A = this chain, B = another copy of it.
Amino acid sequence: MTTTEAAAQSLSIGEVAERTGMSVHALRFYERERLLVGPVQRTSGGRRRYTSFDVDWLLICVKLRASGMPLADLKHFAELVRHGPGNEAERLRLLDAHRQRVDAQIQALEECRSVIAWKVGVYAEHLARGKARGLWDPTT
């Protein structure tokens, strides 16, 4: 076996990049910016070793980022978790506020979608009816 044996317990930065879809650059950047709950462990040689907790946290980060949470909020959330139990109410507020923003975003996107779909329909119909007929309103 290769590194896969020890990997059950800890992963290299490259392996974590693969599993999370982040780049190794981004992983180092996140650590520098204190976006992780704890500092990442190191081998005697100075290489990072990520635990499955780290990976789980990163997977959550990926979801939060994908849904538009700014890094500042992510950092705040990481700080809360870092300070341990006792601030769950604030974590809840943070996440719930974000959930509401995501809901709003989905709504907005669905509205955009229908506008776009309508325009797609206009073009499709235009093409179906045969090409180029005189006055073609560029805004429709």
Contacts and interface: CB of A to CB of B under 8 A. Distances in A.
Interface of A: 37, 53, 56-57, 60, 63-64, 66-67, 81, 84-86, 88-89, 91-92, 95-96, 98-99, 102-103, 105-106, 108-113, 115-117, 119-120, 123-124, 126-127, 131-133, 136, 138-139
Given A81-B138, A85-B131, A102 B95 contact: no
A99 B117 contact: yes
Interface of A is mostly: helix
Contacts of A98: 116
Nearest to A132: B85
Nearest to A111: B63
Contacts of A99: 113, 116-117, 120
Contact of A84 (B92, B119, B136): B136
Nearest to A136: B85
Given A88-B126, A123-B95, A67 B109 contact: yes
A134 B119 CA distance: 57
Contacts of A37: 138
A75 to B, nearest CB: 15
